[in-house]
C-alpha cells in the first residue's frame, strides 16, 4: 500500500516539479537547456504577428470551406490531416509520448514543419489579473502563465471544461460563434489546438518549439473566429483576445515529438 502511494506521488511530482519555482531555482545549473531566456518580450518573437495571422487564416479558411460544403458532418481525422497538410505542409496530432510516465504528447505525423512555423495553439479560458481561477487551478497542470501575468487554463476536464463552454456560449456575434469548443474533446476541429499536451524538454530532449504570445487583431476575419480555441473569462470587447502559439525552433521531421520550455527567465 505504501509503495503504491509513493509511486503515485512520484508520478505526480515528475509532472508538477517544472512548475514548482523552488525546485527550478535549485536545478538551474543542472538543467540549463530547459530554460528559455527572454531579454525583451515585445521583441522576442521568432515569427512576426503578420505571419501568425497568415498561417491561421490559411488553415481556418480551408476548415470553413469544408464546413460549408458538408455542414451536417464533422470532418474525420484523415480529412483534417489533408486540410492541414495542404495549408501548412505538415500535420500534428496528439498521441502517447516518447517519454516514460509523460502521458500524451504531440507529434509531427506528416510532412515537415520548417523553422519559424506555427505548429500548435495553446487552447483554454483567458484570465486577466484578479479574475477568479483558484478552484479551476486545483490539481490542474494545464494553467499557462504568459509573461505579462495573463493565465490560460488549458484543462479539458472538470470545472475548467464547464467554465470554457459557458464563456464560449456567451460570446457570439449574431449567428457567428467567436470560439471553438471541439478542443475539449478527443477530436478537435482545429488540428492546431493541441498545444497544452506538448511536453517539457530536458537535457536529453532539447526544445524544438517555443511559446509565443499573440493578440488576435480586430481585423481577424469574423467568420474564422469560430476556430479560435480561446475565450475570455469576462467579456471585454475593448481588449484583444490573447492566444499563445507554439513556433518551431528548427525544422521538425515527420515522427518527431514536440518539446517546449515550461520555464522562461525574463531579463
* 265, 36 Cβ separation under 8 angstroms: yes
CA distances from 98 to 32, 88, 94, 217 (A): 22, 24, 12, 37
What are 179-229's pLDDT values in tens digits?
A: 999 999 988 999 999 999 999 887 778 889 999 999 999 999 999 999 999
Evaluate if residue 101 carries a pLDDT over 80: no
- Domains within the chain, CATH numbers bracketed: 31-266 (2.170.270.10)
* 153, 143 Cβ separation under 8 angstroms: yes
In this predicted structure, what is the pLDDT of residue 265? 46
What are 217-230's pLDDT values in tens digits?
A: 999 999 999 999 99
Average pLDDT score, the chain: 85
DSSP codes, 2-48: HHHHHHHHHHHHHHHGGG-HHHHHHTTTTTGGGEEEES-TTT--SS-
pTM of the model: 0.85
Evaluate if residue 120 carries a pLDDT over 60: yes
In this structure, the number of other CB atoms found within 10 A of the CB of residue 267 comes to 8
pLDDT band at residue 22 using 50, 70 and 90 as cut-offs: low
Amino acid at each position: 500500500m505504501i509503495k503504491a502511494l509513493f509511486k503515485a506521488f512520484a508520478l505526480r511530482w515528475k509532472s508538477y516539479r517544472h512548475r514548482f519555482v523552488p525546485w527550478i531555482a535549485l536545478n538551474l545549473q543542472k538543467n540549463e537547456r530547459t530554460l528559455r531566456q527572454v531579454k525583451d518580450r515585445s521583441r522576442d518573437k521568432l515569427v512576426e504577428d503578420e505571419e501568425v495571422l497568415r498561417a491561421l487564416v490559411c488553415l481556418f479558411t480551408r476548415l470553413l470551406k469544408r464546413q460549408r460544403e458538408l455542414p451536417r458532418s464533422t470532418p474525420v481525422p484523415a480529412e483534417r490531416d489533408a486540410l492541414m497538410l495542404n495549408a501548412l505542409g505538415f500535420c500534428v496530432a496528439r498521441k502517447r509520448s516518447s517519454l516514460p510516465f509523460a502521458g500524451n504528447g504531440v507529434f509531427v505525423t506528416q510532412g515537415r514543419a520548417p523553422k519559424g512555423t506555427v505548429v500548435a495553439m495553446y487552447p483554454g479560458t483567458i484570465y486577466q489579473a484578479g479574475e477568479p481561477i483558484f478552484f479551476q487551478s486545483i490539481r490542474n497542470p494545464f494553467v499557462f502563465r504568459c509573461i505579462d501575468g495573463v493565465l490560460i487554463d488549458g484543462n479539458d476536464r472538470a470545472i475548467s471544461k464547464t467554465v470554457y463552454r459557458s464563456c464560449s456560449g456567451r460570446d457570439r456575434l449574431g449567428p457567428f460563434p467567436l470560439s471553438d469548443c471541439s478542443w475539449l474533446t478527443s477530436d478537435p476541429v482545429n488540428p492546431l489546438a493541441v498545444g497544452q499536451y506538448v511536453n517539457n524538454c530536458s537535457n536529453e530532449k532539447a526544445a524544438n518549439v517555443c511559446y509565443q504570445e499573440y493578440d488576435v487583431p480586430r481585423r481577424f476575419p469574423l467568420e474564422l473566429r469560430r476556430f479560435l480555441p480561446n475565450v475570455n473569462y469576462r467579456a471585454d470587447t475593448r481588449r484583444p483576445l490573447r492566444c499563445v502559439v507554439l513556433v518551431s525552433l528548427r525544422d521538425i521531421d515527420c515522427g518527431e515529438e514536440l518539446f517546449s520550455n515550461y520555464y522562461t527567465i525574463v531579463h
